[in-house]
Structure 1
Amino acid sequence: MQEAAKIDGESGARRTNLRAARGRLALYHVLLLGGVFLFWYAMTEPGLIPPFYFDDPTRAKFFFGQPLEVLKRIWIWFSGGTIYLHLGVTLIETLLAFAIGTMLGLVLGLWLALSPTASTLADPYIKAMNAMPRVILAPIFAVWFGLGITSKVVFGITLVFFIVFFNVYQGVKEVSPVVLANAR
């Protein structure tokens, strides 16, 4: 009986310590964010610090914006409701890219993992396309598909496809033959 109470007391103390650690971590997150905003404000406010890279002190405002003005603009967008249409379009683009990229990665990953001939033929091309930085594809897709939803969805597909493809491909390839025999 005393042993159970002792264990309960230890786990309660551990929970209290964990809760205090989480509280401190949340405080550190808020302080770090405040420090970033304070640094941003100090670097863009003319006269607070000597200009490092700009001969005209107002140029820093132009290049980096002012945090208070940025926050005001964000408040206007949300309170006026003008941003919700844009957020909806971005959500649609993201969901389409995720769904299509996941399906393509799943289908091609399964097909190539189960077909040694196709895997051998396609392997160098898929690895070469995966090695290419995705950032260079964005302007190419903008030229090919325009600035509408299509170019953004195709770009998103390239981001999702390779992650899903390689996970499915490796997962199927590494299934133990013993497990497959037992499943049959």
Structure 2
Amino acid sequence: MTKSHEKVKEADLVSKEHEEYLRKIKSTKRRIVITRILILVSFIALWQIAANQKWIDPFLTSSPARVIKSFVSLYEDGSLFKHIGVTCYETILGFSLGTILGVLIAIILWWSPMISKILDPYLVVLNALPKVALAPIIIFWIGNGMPAIIVIALLISVITTIIGVLSGFNEIDKEKIMLMNTFRASKIQILRYLIFPYSIPIFISALKINVGLSWVGVIMGEFLVAKNGLGFLIVYGGQVAQLDMVMMSIVILSIIAFIMYEVVSLVEKRLVKDKS
């Protein structure tokens, strides 16, 4: 009876310690979120105060109030969501195609070590080459318009995806591959049951990197050829000295890019949970 009571007390103690641990984790997460919000609110308030007090030139740096005014102006004339929609469409398409194509090419290179060794120096050169230099050529080949912008976004992300995913494939424990070969597993089975499950962190990392790279490619393309989109608004605002429009476009870009990154993070959590 005494031992039974001791076990019950130990279980209660462990349970209380576990609850305290979970409480601390939640408290820490809450403090992090609150701190982030306070930093953002403080930055916006300081920006507005500095503009009102003329510590900074509101014409050059704009202000939150002027950014909101510009946002409302574009919303009222019906063009705001058109520009946002065009840029989001181009970014999501370039992001998706770059990621899918990069993963497929990485699979082909993993499947055939000979092809991988042949193409390795070319991948290194293409990765080191500034993609901005290719933009005028792509525009000349494809023409002014959305397809050229999507291709630019694709090219910026696809090489990075290939190199990152292929490196992840090649880092899989060789002994595990040898074990599956011992059981006469086919390459498709090795890819499906070993390579893919162990490469989930690599895929997620590639997605997170491609979020930023896709935005870079799309905005760069819109700077050069677009007649719609947030990149176009930035260029147009600079040309007509409407820096409020420029700052508003940058703020919107930041918000949408953050949302895309958070979506990828949610996918990561779901995949990790399913894997567990």
- 1:92 counterpart (89, 97, 101): 89
Query: Which secondary structure state, in structure 1, belongs to the residue aligned with residue 42 of structure 2?
Result: helix
- 2:16 counterpart (1, 5, 9): 9
44 and 144 in structure 1: CA distance in 2 versus 1, 3 angstrom threshold: farther
Q: Over alpha carbons, which structure has the higher Rg? A: 1
Matched, 1:26 2:23: no
Q: Which residue of 2 aligns with 1:178?
A: 178
Higher relative contact order (CA 8 A, sep 6+): 2
Q: Are 2:123 and 2:163, in contact at CA under 8 Å, matched by a contact in 1?
A: no
CA shift, 1:165, in A, is 0.8
Q: Greater shift after overlay, 93-102 or 171-180?
A: 171-180
78 and 12 in structure 1: CA distance in 2 versus 1, 3 angstrom threshold: farther
Q: Which residue of 2 aligns with 1:70?
A: 67
Instruction: Return the alpha-carbon distance in structure 1 between the equivalents of residues 128 and 113 of structure 2.
Output: 22
CA shift, 1:32, in A, is 0.7
Structure 1 stretches of 5 or more lacking a match? 52-59
Q: Greater shift after overlay, 131-140 or 20-29?
A: 131-140
CA shift, 1:34, in A, is 1.9
Q: Which residue of 2 aligns with 1:56?
A: none
- 1:121 counterpart (118, 121, 137): 118
Instruction: Return the alpha-carbon distance in structure 1 between the equivalents of residues 116 and 30 of structure 2.
Output: 51
22 and 104 in structure 1: CA distance in 2 versus 1, 3 angstrom threshold: closer
CA shift, 1:26, in A, is 1.8
Q: Greater shift after overlay, 157-166 or 169-178?
A: 169-178
Instruction: Return the alpha-carbon distance in structure 1 between the equivalents of residues 134 and 40 of structure 2.
Output: 33
Q: Which residue of 2 aligns with 1:36?
A: 43
Instruction: Return the alpha-carbon distance in structure 1 between the equivalents of residues 179 and 168 of structure 2.
Output: 13
CA shift, 1:23, in A, is 2.3
Instruction: Return the alpha-carbon distance in structure 2 between the equivalents of residues 144 and 70 of structure 1.
Output: 37
Structure 2 stretches of 5 or more lacking a match? 1-7, 187-276
CA shift, 1:10, in A, is 1.7
Instruction: Return the alpha-carbon distance in structure 2 between the equivalents of residues 164 and 104 of structure 1.
Output: 9
Could you give the per-residue CA deviations for residues 24-59 of structure 1, whole angstroms, max 9, x where no partner exists? 2222112111222133234434x443x6xxxxxxxx
- 1:101 counterpart (77, 98, 101): 98
Q: How many pairs align?
A: 174
CA shift, 1:3, in A, is 1.7
Supply the AA of the counterpart residue of 2:178: V
Matched, 1:151 2:164: no
- Give the TM-score normalised by structure 2: 0.53
142 and 71 in structure 1: CA distance in 2 versus 1, 3 angstrom threshold: farther
27 and 81 in structure 1: CA distance in 2 versus 1, 3 angstrom threshold: farther
Q: Greater shift after overlay, 14-23 or 133-142?
A: 133-142
Identity %: 27
